[in-house]
Amino acid sequence: MTTNEGNLTKKDFTSDREVRWCPGCGDYAILATVQSLLPEVGARPESTVFVSGIGCSSRFPYYMDTYGIHSIHGRAPAVATGLAISRPDLDVWVVTGDGDGLSIGGNHLMHALRRNVNLKILLFNNEIYGLTKGQYSPTSPLGSTHKSTPLGSLDRPINPVSLALGVEATYVARSIDTDRKHLSEVLRGAYEHRGSAFVEIYQNCNIFNDGAFAAVKDKGQKEHNQIRLTDGEPITFGPDNERAVVAESDGSMSIVPTEEAGDRVVVHDPARDEPTTAFALSRLALNPTGPTPIGIFRDVDRPVYDELVREQIDQARSDQGEGDLGSLLEGGNVWDVV
Amino acid sequence: MSDTATENRPGDRERVQLHSAVIRFAGDSGDGMQLTGDRFTTQSALAGNDLATLPDFPAEIRAPAGTLAGVSSFQLHFSDKDIHTPGDAPDVLVAMNPAALMKHHEALKPGGTLILNTDAFTERNLQKAGYEDDPREDGSLTDFQVHEVPITDLTVRALEGHIERGELNKKEAERCKNMLALGLVSWMFSRSVDETEEWLRSKFRSKPEIADANVEALRAGWNYGETTEAFVFHYEVKAAKLPPGRYRNITGNQAVAYGLIAASVRSKLPLFYGSYPITPASDILHELAKQKNFGVQTFQAEDEIAAIGSVIGASFGGSLSVTASSGPGIALKTEAMGLAVATELPMIIVNVMRGGPSTGLPTKTEQSDLFQVLHGRNGEAPIPVVAAESPADGFDAAIEAARIALTYRTPVVLLSDGYLANSAEPWLLPDVDGLPDLTQVFEFTTESNSDNGFQPYLRDPETLARPWALPGTPGLEHRIGGLEKDDGSGHISYDPVNHHAMTQVRHDRVHRIADDLAPLAVDDPSGQADVLVVGWGSTSGPIRAACEQLREKGRDVARVHLRHLSPLPNDLDDLLRSYETVVCPENNMGQLSILLRARTLVDIKGYHRVTGQPFASDELADVIEQHGFGEQA
């Protein structure tokens, strides 16, 4: 984490490039939130790197006046891992999407998270392939009809938060593109977390999949469907907190009227070391078409990958002394010819 | 074996002086043949011989015992002269079981010495090896001097005391039989086993009874040779007259790893090594993982793609970044290699080639990935390619790859192969202070280079390298990526004229590398040759040995060996055109030949064979004779 000694503003993080997303795209709101947040939390442009893959969201680095790599499809976590291991002084962000991060790059996402590399990974989930013009994605609901699935998708969707919790990511959160206050809070938490932070952001693609998140975004619906997770608070929701999340005896969770919940209501604790409870929470909504938790699911401290790498190097240096090339080459059996 | 003299010493069997010998140990994968060969190699090196080795093992870790598929072998050529190959046909074959005999007896020279572990010649083992009759009795081995030695039984008897004391069971005792064989062969070649004894004691430091058992088996083998009358002669190969200096043995993979560390030290850049395990490249990772006190960061990635991805990230961050793999892994890295070309970041991609296509022959050698690394990418994506020509040469080749990468800000491919990777040879240690000073070939950019803000693609006019501005540097924030850039500003550009210009500049930048290469060194002792042999990579040894054979017969033959495959040296065209005949042997179907023909229009005579094994020098001498002198040797 870097500190902001000067008085930087959003402008200092905004590049001179014209933003070229479709008018009305949810990416605009996320970009504006990130550009405003970074000066607030004390980040510095020169110490910030955005790494992306391929897809609409992956254009993100071009619009940030920071360092950036627009890499290849699915590989952003791998590229960012090499940078974060070798440069612990930097804030390295990964911007990816549901196709880039969960389909072609699912492998890298999983391994970056389980290693706890010091990366802030933002997954813009729009449940569609936008850049290739409208095929279904790994988060599209079962049966959804798009260009490549005229008769309905046969693939069971991935729940990105469940996936991240399954590989024991140390910071896992979910937010919504246009909910600036909530998104800022969640991103602030990610920024302050040392280690892998994973944030799923519901992002509306108004061209190919408009309204996919209406249940949790639109006035009149969101009041009923957003389950806002707050550290230390019982998990209840609805306009009058009339519904509650309770733990079942089989380890799963379900939603009941608050008046029936009694002491079975779950009190949210993102610092719980075991990811099991957070995972059960994430299973409340397979797709955000009904009540869906948003907020920080998990936030725990674990050794960070680059620190472990440096510890081994320091240990080797203290055990063997600083490497000496001449001695290395002469290691083992040598003989002299005169 | 080439004899020189026989001398008799009182109380000694006849000791025959040899110039050189080739010995092959063969047995089951579990018999410890690679270790036996390694130890004999070290003993020969310490005796001052020049040597070359050829380990050959199956891809299966433990194929079913006693089968042909499970045979593992190790060949060593040692000499009192300067030698270049692990030898063609062995003079001595140690066969630990019938399968080893079946697989290797045809290679043995007529009149060669065959040492058989008779204890393993059971009916079941003979069957497994595919013998209908016992070869010891059916007259099929009459060409050889056969020594039937009950190696397993001798080992168990030598260790009876240990078994009685309950320190070992019989099976564990039997496992020491490779040391008995090593002791016997060491006696045959008048090699001291003291160093191996020391090595065993250190290896089994925590298990002294195992160390004792192995040492006793080793000594029992030696004594067996000394006291039985079965061996009429024993041999001595005196020290070679090598250039003065300090030597060690080194394999190709080790040499590459050390070369990378040297490049890191000499460039004052931290070494970042991201790779995914693959035969035969993994030993580079193993070696570097041991050298963390040099600040080496090794990262075992989740796959080949992540390995090179991490290397691109680390290069952006200012490390000397390296990944290594073999052909199938390089195939997976292909897209990222294109990104490395587009982002113009320095890095080294090592390809330790093996037999292909697909999974191919993981443990065997081949040179068939030249086209892959030169052309195997979408778009015009030129990458410089350098190749190591001997195991020890991996060290210099790695430093050269780093020099090119850092000077021209480009990914560089370093080619090695399965033969170089695992073979060993004596290496005259370099003076580390005399190694190239790589701090002089690059600098990090710290100031803006233009009045219009920092231009990440504004190039050095001489090298065409773009600035290397690291994250963390205020004012130089910039974005790079796989989309086409505007030359200079680095902004995304779809401009047609710019795309052509950028394609041209990426091409020119690689081709300019040829301008600062040293002139080609042509080996033509008489200066009269009309025949030139051109090669690259691990064929260097066999080509050199073949040329020397021909010269001894009075044939004038010249040879040149290419370190740089891309760009090819500027003086190569005239050189090739100045000979009547140009022969190019390769362990592929003629990849360099095609390139050279296309470039020079010289009618290159190719020789292509892919057996998974390096060329034999006799084989190449025949080929050169045929093409260059119109006859068979």
Beta strands in B571-630 (DSSP E): 581-586, 605-608
Q: To which H or E segment does residue B20 belong? A: strand B20-28
CB contact under 8 A, B274 and A320: no
Put simply, the chain B residues between 230 and 249 with a CB less than 8 A from any chain A CB are 239, 242-249
Sheet holding A236-237, edge to edge: A236-237, A243-247, A253-257
Contact B130, B119 (CB under 8 A): no
Does the model's pTM come out above 0.80?
A: yes
The number of beta carbons lying within 10 Å of the beta carbon of residue B500 is: 10
Which of B249, B306, B475 lies closest to A108 in CB terms? B306
**For position B63, what pLDDT does the model report?**
83
CB contact under 8 A, A325 and B432: yes
CB contact under 8 A, A70 and B317: no
The number of beta carbons lying within 10 Å of the beta carbon of residue B492 is: 17
**For position A1, what pLDDT does the model report?**
47
* pLDDT of B9 higher than 80: no
- Kindly state the tokens that stand for A69: 């790599």
Please tell me whether residue B323 adopts helix, strand or coil conformation. Answer: strand
What contacts B25, CB < 8 A, 6 or more positions away? Answer: B33, B36, B37, B40, B73, B74, B75, B94, B96, B181, B185
Q: Is B67 on the interface with A (CB under 8 A)?
A: no
Q: What residues pair up with B389 in beta bridges, in sequence order? A: none
CB contact under 8 A, A328 and B291: yes
**For position B59, what pLDDT does the model report?**
83
- C-alpha A204/C-alpha A213 separation (Å) is 7
Looking at per-residue confidence, does B179 or A286 come out higher?
Answer: B179
Name the closest residue on chain A to residue B254, using Cα atoms: A329
pLDDT in tens, A26-82: 999 999 999 999 999 999 999 999 999 999 999 999 999 999 999 999 999 999 999
CB contact under 8 A, A337 and B242: yes
What contacts B126, CB < 8 A, 6 or more positions away? Answer: B98, B134
Question: What value does the mean pLDDT of chain B take?
Answer: 95
Name the closest residue on chain B to residue A52, using Cα atoms: B481
- C-alpha B120/C-alpha B152 separation (Å) is 8
Average pLDDT over residues A300-320: 97
Of B295, B297, B368, the C-alpha closest to B331 is: B368
**Which phi and psi (to 5°) does residue B597 adopt?**
-60, -45
**Which phi and psi (to 5°) does residue A8 adopt?**
-80, 155
The number of beta carbons lying within 10 Å of the beta carbon of residue A24 is: 12
Query: Three-state SS string across B373-437, please?
Result: HHHCCCCCCCCCEEECCCCCHHHHHHHHHHHHHHHHCCEEEEEEEHHHHHCEEEEECCCHHHCCC
Q: To which H or E segment does residue A5 belong? A: none
* pLDDT of A4 higher than 70: no
- C-alpha B105/C-alpha B212 separation (Å) is 33
Q: Is A113 on the interface with B (CB under 8 A)?
A: no
pLDDT in tens, B348-381: 999 999 999 999 999 999 999 999 999 999 999 9
| Band of pLDDT at residue B12, cut at 50, 70 and 90 | low
Please tell me whether residue B342 adopts helix, strand or coil conformation. Answer: helix
- C-alpha B226/C-alpha B234 separation (Å) is 9
Average pLDDT over residues A211-235: 97
Which of B246, B249, B481 lies closest to A330 in CB terms? B246
CB contact under 8 A, B479 and A61: yes
Please tell me whether residue B530 adopts helix, strand or coil conformation. Answer: coil
Q: Is B289 on the interface with A (CB under 8 A)?
A: no
- Kindly state the tokens that stand for B288: 């570097």
Of B514, B516, B461, B513, the C-alpha closest to B487 is: B461
Q: Is B349 on the interface with A (CB under 8 A)?
A: no
* pLDDT of B633 higher than 60: no
| Set of chain A residues whose Cβ sits within 8 Å of the Cβ of B432 | 325-326, 329
| Set of chain A residues whose Cβ sits within 8 Å of the Cβ of B268 | none
pLDDT in tens, B200-249: 999 999 999 999 999 999 999 999 998 887 787 788 999 998 899 999 99
What contacts A10, CB < 8 A, 6 or more positions away? Answer: A32, A35, A36, A39
- Kindly state the tokens that stand for B261: 């560390």
- Percent above pLDDT 90 for chain B: 92
pLDDT in tens, B129-148: 999 999 999 999 999 999 99
Q: What residue has token string 């803006």?
A: B448
Average pLDDT over residues A117-138: 96
* pLDDT of B11 higher than 60: no
Query: Three-state SS string across B131-189, please?
Result: CCCCCCCCCCCCCCEEEEECHHHHHHHHCHHHHHCCCCCHHHHHCCHHHHHHHHHHHHC
pLDDT in tens, B167-201: 999 999 999 999 999 999 999 999 999 999 999 99
Put simply, the chain A residues between 293 and 332 with a CB less than 8 A from any chain B CB are 309, 312-313, 315-317, 319-323, 325-326, 328-332
Q: What residues pair up with B298 in beta bridges, in sequence order? A: B273
**For position B10, what pLDDT does the model report?**
43
Q: Is A84 on the interface with B (CB under 8 A)?
A: yes
- Kindly state the tokens that stand for B204: 């089994």
| Band of pLDDT at residue A5, cut at 50, 70 and 90 | low
The number of beta carbons lying within 10 Å of the beta carbon of residue B261 is: 25
Q: Is A149 exposed, middle or buried (0-12, 13-18, 19+ CB in 10 A)?
A: middle
pLDDT in tens, B427-484: 999 999 999 999 999 999 999 999 999 999 999 999 999 999 999 999 999 999 999 9
- Kindly state the tokens that stand for A174: 């979910």
Q: Is B233 exposed, middle or buried (0-12, 13-18, 19+ CB in 10 A)?
A: middle
